[in-house]
């Protein structure tokens, strides 16, 4: 029997939902029948419009899409202006104020505190510069991940045009819009692994192979470039079934398939179609792509793709996973861990990645960043999978002036090791699934650690990822130190708490964290991390990274070293019961639901 959400989608889904959403916006929040909230909010997600959690009725989040993290000139400015003019909530965040954008781990942007009545005008402003929210949520192909500097920096296989082809021809295909669950695609063309192919439902990784064939293979809509006589070929190996969440993470598994650049599009499409047709639409807890690969197995999936494709499949070639450095737990001299810093472009110019702690950027800062991209670069801004922005196309003679700008004094290209490695999901501030607040807590934690804990001079990043629940949107499972929100009792009271694990990372052999402490009260978390990092600094061998030290030290010893304790100088922002409040940082009753001007609306309970 199909899940109820499949029934809702069968009644109305995709582009036709937009007209209804605009109708509701014209008539106001109260026009949505209360008994139909769940189904309409589920449908709205296709257009990137998510209702916020309980107590925040009539307020919405909007997620945007920009394939591979590319924001063309004027797009970031328009997004910042929307945040300034519309993303203003009824209460301020104590760390970030009011009116800001959130950079996501899929190289895109989220806006919060939007009123339903403003959505059509917001769309008009964003779409005027080519920014869309279509297919940003729900059971769709989500924002496609790629190297954020594809086309700018060195790649083994050029991927920028391929990303756009997949965006336009596959993700943009209405016939494939209604997937069994959300579905993630990535294309890595570089040798650093920055698209994190291991974490996607299907990922292409650069590879090469000697192919000996008497007849050239051909794809259904392109000429093959596999040459005769055993020449070396550049292309991709194909992996499938990666993903996090539910504490059942999977690294994407190799399908033993090598494709050329010109066969890659058809191969991705074939797998998308296979999952679209055969994926489980009944049990939503077991129907993500990773479970699909579990059920079918890689051999059967390869056979199914072989039947669907108009060229003979080649076995996998030689990949570059041994060279992967992006969040791979290797020493910095081996290569970039992320895109924060100053780097050379292939055209002789530079790109500058700045650190936005936890991915939250104030609206005025987003506009200023767009201005700086115009003044010192081409106006184009790229976004990374680690929640940071990049200014591209900076000439050598302009580099010092850019680095001296006040905005880059706050959001540095060379931040402290804790800030540079930090990521966090939305948390209880807006998410109904989360058990703990994340971003404000992590901001205070980063400050305290930066002021009180020293790390060795050769360690420039300690990767801490914070997820408010086991859905793991903050990618805690892949961190040096992974944090997942929980609840616990302390001194007889219920408090926000954290499960803590260590030793995660992607790279040649993706490794997920090993849990070392359960339900640590949030106010004892800074002391625990300090004890762990200080032990690392004191006991590591020369040049050893945190991940290498964890592997060498062993689980029992790490547990002993990771002792939770309260510390001076740290005050937790919302230790008690934030899950039950309408907003973690506001006292009193919620003003929601509200009219477009923020005036509270009467509800049945008020009568």
DSSP states of 239-279: EE--B--TT--BPPEEEEEEEEHHHHHHHHHHHHHHHHHHS
Banded model confidence at residue 227, pLDDT cuts 50, 70, 90 = low
> What average pLDDT does range 22-38 have in this prediction?
96
pLDDT at 218 over 80: no
For 333-380, the pLDDT digits (tens) are: 898 889 999 999 999 999 999 999 999 999 999 999 999 999 999 999
Q: Looking at residue 533, what is its pLDDT?
A: 98
Q: 222 falls in which pLDDT band (50, 70, 90)?
A: very low
Q: What is the pLDDT of residue 220?
A: 40
Print the SS3 string covering 444-506. HHHHHHHHHCCCCCCCCCCCEEEECCCCCCCCHHHCCEEEEEEEEEECCEEEEEEEEEECCEC
Percent of the chain with pLDDT over 90: 91
Q: How confident is the model at residue 503 (pLDDT cuts 50, 70, 90)?
A: very high
Average pLDDT rounded to a whole number, residues 415-427 = 95
* Percent of the chain as helix, strand, coil, to the nearest 5: 35, 20, 45
The pLDDT tens digits for 284-321 are 999 999 999 999 999 999 999 999 999 999 999 999 99
Please write the tens of the pLDDT for every residue from 126-155. Answer: 999 999 999 999 999 999 999 999 999 999
Is residue 21's pLDDT more than 80?
yes
DSSP code string of 569-596: T---S--S-GGGSSSTT--S----SB-T
Element housing 603 (H / E): none
Contacts 24+ apart (CB under 8 A), 453-458: 453/418, 453/529, 453/530, 453/533, 453/534, 454/537, 455/417, 455/533, 455/536, 455/537, 456/537, 456/540, 458/331, 458/332, 458/543
Task: Quote the pLDDT of residue 230.
Answer: 72
pLDDT value for 580 = 84
| Residues 474-478, mean pLDDT to the nearest whole number | 97
Question: Which pLDDT value is given to residue 603?
Answer: 61
Residue 229: predicted pLDDT: 58
Q: Lowest-confidence range among 61-65, 185-189, 452-456, 603-607?
A: 603-607
DSSP 36: G
% of the chain exceeding 70 in pLDDT: 96
State mean pLDDT over 602-607: 56
Exposure string (b/e) for 299-332, b if CB count within 10 Å is 16 or more? eebbebbeeebebebbebbebbbebbbbbbbbee
Question: Taking the model in full, what pTM does it have?
Answer: 0.95
Tokens of 554: 């062993």
- β-partners of residue 259 are 236
pLDDT of residue 219 exceeding 50: no
Cis peptide before 246 (omega within 30 of 0): no
State the chain's mean pLDDT as an integer. Answer: 94
pLDDT at 272 over 60: yes
What is the reported pLDDT for 146? 97
pLDDT given at position 597: 87
């Amino acid at each position: 029997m199909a899940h109820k959400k499949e029934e809702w989608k069968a009644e109305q889904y995709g582009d036709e939902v937009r007209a209804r959403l605009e109708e509701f916006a014209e008539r106001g929040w109260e026009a949505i029948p209360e008994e139909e909230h769940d189904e309409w909010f589920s449908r709205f997600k296709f257009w990137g419009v998510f209702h916020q959690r309980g107590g925040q009725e009539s307020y919405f989040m909007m997620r945007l899409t920009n394939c591979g993290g590319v924001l063309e000139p004027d797009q970031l400015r328009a997004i910042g202006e929307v945040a300034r003019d519309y993303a203003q909530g009824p209460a301020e965040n104590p760390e970030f104020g009011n009116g800001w954008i959130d950079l996501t781990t899929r190289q895109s942007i989220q806006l919060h505190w939007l009123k339903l009545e403003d959505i059509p005008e917001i769309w008009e402003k964003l779409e005027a510069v080519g920014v869309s929210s279509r297919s940003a949520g729900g059971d769709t192909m989500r924002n496609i991940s790629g190297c954020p500097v594809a086309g700018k920096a060195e790649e083994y296989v050029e991927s920028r045009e391929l990303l756009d082809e997949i965006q336009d021809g596959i993700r943009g295909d209405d016939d494939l819009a209604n997937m069994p669950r959300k579905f993630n695609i990535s294309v890595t063309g570089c040798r650093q692994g920055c698209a994190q192919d291991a974490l996607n439902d299907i990922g292409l990784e650069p590879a090469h192979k000697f192919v000996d064939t008497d007849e050239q293979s051909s794809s259904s809509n392109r000429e093959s470039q596999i040459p005769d006589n055993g020449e070396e070929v550049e292309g991709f190996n194909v992996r499938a079934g990666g993903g996090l969440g539910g504490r059942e993470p999977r690294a994407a598994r190799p399908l033993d398939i090598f494709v050329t650049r010109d066969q890659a599009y058809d191969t991705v499409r074939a797998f998308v179609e296979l999952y679209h047709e055969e994926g489980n639409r009944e049990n939503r807890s077991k129907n993500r792509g990773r479970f699909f690969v579990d059920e079918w197995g890689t051999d059967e999936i390869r056979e199914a793709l072989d039947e669907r494709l108009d060229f003979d499949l080649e076995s996998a070639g030689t990949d570059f996973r041994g060279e992967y450095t992006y969040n791979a737990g290797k020493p910095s001299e081996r290569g970039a861990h992320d895109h924060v810093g100053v780097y050379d472009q292939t055209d002789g110019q530079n790109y500058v990645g700045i650190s936005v702690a936890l991915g939250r950027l104030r609206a005025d800062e987003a506009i200023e960043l767009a201005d700086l991209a115009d003044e010192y670069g081409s106006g184009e801004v790229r976004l990374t999978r680690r929640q940071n922005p990049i200014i591209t196309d900076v000439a050598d003679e302009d580099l010092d002036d850019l680095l001296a700008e006040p905005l880059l004094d706050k959001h540095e290209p060379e931040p402290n090791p804790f800030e540079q490695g930090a990521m966090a999901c939305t948390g209880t501030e807006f998410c109904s699934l989360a058990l703990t607040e994340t971003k404000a807590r992590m901001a205070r934690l980063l400050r305290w650690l930066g002021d009180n804990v020293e790390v060795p001079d050769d360690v420039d990043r300690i990767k801490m990822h914070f997820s408010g629940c086991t859905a793991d949107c903050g990618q805690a499972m892949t961190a040096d130190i992974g944090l997942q929100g929980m609840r616990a009792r302390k001194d007889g009271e219920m408090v926000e708490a954290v499960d803590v694990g260590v030793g995660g990372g992607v790279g040649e052999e993706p490794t997920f964290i090993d849990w070392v402490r359960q339900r640590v009260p949030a106010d004892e978390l800074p002391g625990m991390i300090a004890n762990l990092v200080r032990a690392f600094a004191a006991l590591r061998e020369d040049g050893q990274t945190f991940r290498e030290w964890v592997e060498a030290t062993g689980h029992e010893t790490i547990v002993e070293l990771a002792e939770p304790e309260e510390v001076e100088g740290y005050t937790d922002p919302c230790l008690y019961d934030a899950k039950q409040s309408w907003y973690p940082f506001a006292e009193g009753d919620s003003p929601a639901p509200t009219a477009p001007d923020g005036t509270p609306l009467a509800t049945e309970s008020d009568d």
